[in-house]
Chain A
Amino acid sequence: MRIRCPHCGTRDNGEFSYLGDAAPARPDGMEAQPAAMHDYVYLRDNPAGPHRELWYHGAGCRSWLVVDRDTRTHEITGVSSARDVALSRRTGEVA
């Protein structure tokens, strides 16, 4: 499996570390009920198929990336900078 880093080009997956599903959004710690925090910390969709996930290019540019990957085939269909994804999420655009 190779990941096409937007900064470094196509690199072996051994250069990257995996965090997990990119979908869970942290609830406001001051406002959230314990149940919402439980869901965020512990529960996952864990789909067999397309999965949007966070990877860290530790042996390269040290950037966090959002990778679209199929968990059945390991095929990667998209990679973008997590910073760009977060910024566009804040401004309401679709990354």
Chain B
Amino acid sequence: MRYSLLSVMGQALRGQRDWKPQWRDATPKAEYDAVIVGGGGHGLATAYYLAKEHGITNVAVLEKSHVGSGNVGRNTTIVRSNYGLAGNIPFYERSMKLWEGLEQDINYNAMVSQRGVLNLYHSDAQRDAYARRGNAMRMAGIDAELLDREGVRGMVPFIDFDNARFPVKGGLLQRRGGTVRHDAVAWGYARAASDRGVDIVQNCAVTGIRRENGRVVGVETSRGFIRAKKVALSVAGSTSLLASMADLRLPIESHVLQAFVSEGVKPLIDTVMTFGAGHFYVSQSDKGGLVFGGDIDGYNSYAQRGNLATIEDVMEGGMALWPGLGRLRLLRHWGGIMDMSMDGSPIIDRTPIDGLYLNAGWCYGGFKATPAAGFCFAHLIARDTSHEDAAAYRLDRFATGHLIDEKGMGAQPNLH
């Protein structure tokens, strides 16, 4: 499907009735070279890069519901590469570079908006920590600027700089960070993968992983058995459930994260801003709603809805930083299920079972990783070796002690 000004105008006159589906809603074949479980952003990106980078097109993406119904349609759309640890820096920067070229690559308007990500600091110690992180980024060739108070005031003059407990002292700014239209990422990758021959199979829940002689041979699904040489799991909050079908226990807990949108208002904030003294971040969507969120609820959950205590905590963080928010009404809020890992970092690796691959443990940072996760997971599936940018995301790092604990919280998933 191609779009032009003429086609948009023509459809407007015909009541938008004649648009064609953007990808094939495929019926599963009996056998594939690779089956990707999970039709979210990561799974679709993996299928796209398998086809584009490795020429593997006999691939199915199995989605239990419809494309975009999981976390790719539930996140707060922020992209950034402002990490501080060696294992993370090259991976997230690859993701950022892929975001920058994504729309040209897949010929789809994903509304990539590099409006900047501004992390505020509120104490001398926090400034030192941010300076260190910014330096780590700059040494890797990533843009980072340490702003003083006046620099922040020039960007977001409306926040409470002189809060008695948490005065704003400055911020760490990554100008190349920003937001991307999350649904369009799923749709764009789905169309691009489908165009290259990938089967996108919706309403197809995986119910079992069949093995013979210690090797994966396919998946049992709600639409019958599908034979596959390789099975790749990319199912976010459902990772432990799928892994248990292959008798694997993982260093992962599933937790609910809530997100919020206010009523639409005129342009208020033209960047992504995070509060450094609590967990609160905010940006403004093109429709005008403020999109914001904070901590996960903190208890194991598969419910896709959270509780009031966390909502209050997020609102308190928002009000402490930006008292004017109190004049806005909340339009809606929702929850998604996060695969919280034991060190706060992801896993892109083979499993002890031949032919079974794992992309998981994204905690609440999976969206920004979508292109690179797909890129590196496809590399792993195609070549059976880790991509160099994801080489640290090993499943056995918990046994060997090579943890990547960006926050320094230890093996407590609800604190990452």
A residues apposed to B, CB below 8 Å: 1, 12-14, 17-21, 34-35, 38-39, 41-48, 51, 53, 55, 69, 71-74
Q: Which residues of A contact B308 (CB under 8 A)?
A: 12, 14
CB of B28 within 8 A of chain A?
no
From B240, B300, B411, B414, name the one whose CB has the most chain A CB atoms within 10 angstroms.
B300
Cα A44 to Cα B244 in complex, Å, equals 11
From A48, A53, A69, A72, name the one whose CB has the most chain B CB atoms within 10 angstroms.
A48
- Of the four ranges (under 10, 10 to 19, 20 to 34, 35 or more), the interface on chain B belongs to 20 to 34
CB of A53 within 8 A of CB of B249, answer no
CB of B309 within 8 A of chain A?
yes
Cα A22 to Cα B292 in complex, Å, equals 33
Shortest beta-carbon distance from B112 to chain A in Å: 34
A-B contact count (CB 8 A): 76
CB of B414 within 8 A of CB of A20, answer yes
Cα A90 to Cα B33 in complex, Å, equals 53
B residues apposed to A, CB below 8 Å: 238, 240-241, 244, 249-254, 298-303, 307-309, 312-313, 342, 398-399, 411-414
Q: Which residues of A contact B241 (CB under 8 A)?
A: 46, 48
Cα A83 to Cα B72 in complex, Å, equals 42
Out of A35, A39, A53, A72, name the residue touching B299 (CB < 8 Å): A53
* Also in contact, A51 and B251, with CB within 8 A (given A38-B399, A44-B240): no
Q: Which residues of B contact A46 (CB under 8 A)?
A: 240-241, 250, 252-254, 300
Q: Which residue of B lies closest to A38 (CB)?
A: B399
Q: A18-B414, A41-B398 are in contact. List 14 more A-B contacts (CB 8 A).
A: A38-B398, A38-B399, A42-B398, A42-B411, A43-B249, A43-B250, A46-B253, A46-B254, A47-B240, A69-B299, A71-B301, A71-B302, A71-B303, A72-B303
CB of A48 within 8 A of CB of B302, answer yes
Cα A74 to Cα B251 in complex, Å, equals 22
CB of B250 within 8 A of CB of A18, answer no
Out of A20, A34, A47, name the residue touching B412 (CB < 8 Å): A20
CB of A53 within 8 A of CB of B399, answer no
Q: Which residues of A contact B301 (CB under 8 A)?
A: 71, 74
Q: Which residues of A contact B251 (CB under 8 A)?
A: 42-44
Out of A44, A69, A72, name the residue touching B249 (CB < 8 Å): A44
